[in-house]
Chain A
Amino acid sequence: MEQIALTINDRQLSASSGMTILEVAKENSIDIPALCYRQELSPIGACRICVVEVERSETLVGSCHTPIAQGMVIHTHSKKVLQVRKTMVELLLASHCGNCFMCDKANICELRSIATDLEVGLPRFQVKKRYYPVEDASPFIVRDLTKCILCRRCVSACNEIKKEKVFGIAYRGFDSKVVVDFDQPIDKDVCRDCDVCISFCPTGALSKHGEIGEEKKGEPLIISG
């Protein structure tokens, strides 16, 4: 395999041709955040959180899908890059429902964790929030697309790992949506005992039905003045 010489953050590195910038960075313990990319799936290129600066390129490039090239000079954490990543997360949060305090996945949500890393607080942009009714017709999966950030990992996971092609994208622009068939609430038999998409969803948009206990869990905490 041909070896490629490149520079990342002033470090001279060598890697095999065909690798992406993100893969090389990871191999060298350089941490680039990624939201739509997952090692098990082919790159999607949608979220743009993983962008890096490549010298002589006018725009930033997506590190998860851009192959390395001989002599590339890359900056993964320049001021320009960090500013764009922050804006990206802030944009995602601006239209997000923001009900983190009652989200089951709050503690494992990748959007929140990246927002924390990049020190993004309350979004300053005023924009309409996405709202969709919760889809809970299926006994195997609950979809709450109000929380969806359109990373498309569920689509790829279903296509590539399960090869079921349950999901597709419909509508355009801000109204884009991950849909099943002609935008029906999900209720597919193939989803029985699968969970693949659920495990790939970075947010609380996909989950299993919660187990509701029969016992009383305790008194609600009442704060008296």
Chain B
Amino acid sequence: MAQQRIVLRNCGVIDPMQISTYLDRDGFKALKKALAGVTQEQIIDEIKLSGLRGRGGAGFPCGLKWELAGKAQVDEKYVICNADEGEIGTFKDRYILERDPFTLIEAMAIAGYAIGAKRGYIYLRAEYHCLLDLLKNAIGQAKEGGFLDQFDIDIREGAGAYICGEESALMDSIEGKRGEVRYRPPFPPSRGLWGKPTIINNVETLMNIPQIIFNGGHWFSQLGTEQSKGTKVFSVSGDVKKPGVYELVLGSRLRELVEGLALAEKVKMVQVGGATGRIIPYEMIDMPLAFESILGAGAIIVFNETRDIIDIVYRVMEFLAEECCGKCTPCREGTEVMVEILERFSRGGGLETDISLLEEVASAMMLSSLCGLGQAAPIPVVNSLQYFRSVYENRIRQN
């Protein structure tokens, strides 16, 4: 398998400030094709056929989401592009937005037509304020070019909370409320922003849409594995010689990315998927990168032999405790309990009973938390106990 540019095809090629350079690369042809005689159902069928799944972490089938929203018989609907990119170690959405805002705009307009929405929002991470002018300029040029006659795009800036990347908290935030998680059902495609049917997709997910419409869903479904079609953009960081953004066909091996492209040496472990992502030891580096094995939002953080697993897990847990919205008991209290236990271990302490307490809290959090943050927060801890248990046991013995 190899690198292939679908999502990043225009990055570094076009001028993000000049729509003409985008038009030269078949820009807005997919939208034109969609608006000229293709029905809404046909577009959704094409997306379903492509097998495209969400790139924001959860991997929900994109076509299915659109279909649910498309079917709702309501006048007002919304399309949201999730550009909150708060995950530790992810910077791919920023890379994309900086270099190719036009494809995203075209994709949102197609999404709007497909589900019958007239308005879309880009929810931009607070720290990406520097991209605001670039995005506004791109939207302005698309409007002038007559590409947004039936669909309006607005930008909403976040205020610096990781949890506002979670879809329901994000919608609360756009509505002007405190960004906090809502229970589901109802899911956004039936009741989302302002209570109206809404689809919310990650930047990278949307970036695939124009290409799928242009080349057909079948073309896209030829790439990748059984359950993971297309490519994935990875943000690689940590102990590597060449950190950066790489796009690979799904199913490529983690080793190819980490050692082959990013030139990592003496790797001890890799965290795949950000703060709540799995941590795997070097022995498992031949795993394929796909939804059926390991993927997440595409953050790849590499640690070499000088790194201490407990330190890493402790710091990640501190981050999650800090970013927890505070609504539900397991996450609000559980992350705090874990921070206290891990802090003890990181200082060289730790008791025999701490390991079973960690496991008990982890299990309760994963089973009962209200959202993905609390449900996935224990994953690094659980992995570290699975693959590096002896490190904990040594600390206890030395204590």
Contact = CB atoms under 8 A, between A and B. Distances in A.
A159 to B, nearest CB: 12
Nearest to A45: B183
Interface stretch (B70-78, B93-101, B202-210, B329-337): B329-337
A28 to B, nearest CB: 22
Contacts of B176: none
Nearest to B322: A173
A174 B333 contact: yes
Interface stretch (B126-134, B193-201, B266-274, B361-369): B361-369
B226 interface: no
B278 to A, nearest CB: 16
A62 B329 contact: no
B367 A127 contact: no
A172 B183 contact: no
B325 A172 contact: yes
Interface stretch (A90-98, A100-108, A191-199, A207-215): A90-98
A48 B369 contact: yes
A146 interface: no
Contacts of A80: 367
A92 B333 contact: yes
A88 B326 contact: no
B337 A172 contact: no
B323 A173 contact: yes
Interface residues of B, number: 37
B333 A94 contact: yes
Nearest to B321: A173
Interface residues of A, number: 36
| Binding site secondary structure of chain B | helix
Given A60-B368, A126-B340, A169-B178, A91 B326 contact: no
A48 B369 CA distance: 7
Given A43-B183, A87-B360, A95 B336 contact: yes
Contacts of B161: 172
Max count, chain A CB within 10 A of own CB: residue among B180, B360, B375: B360
A39 interface: no
Interface in B320-363: 321-330, 332-337, 340-341, 353, 357, 360-361, 363
Nearest to A175: B326
A134 B57 CA distance: 43
A202 B332 CA distance: 19
Shortest beta-carbon contacts, A-B, top 4: A176-B326, A45-B183, A91-B333, A87-B364
23 contacts: A45-B183, A45-B328, A46-B328, A46-B329, A59-B367, A66-B185, A84-B364, A88-B330, A91-B333, A91-B337, A91-B364, A92-B333, A95-B333, A127-B337, A150-B326, A169-B180, A171-B326, A172-B163, A172-B322, A173-B324, A174-B332, A174-B335, A175-B326
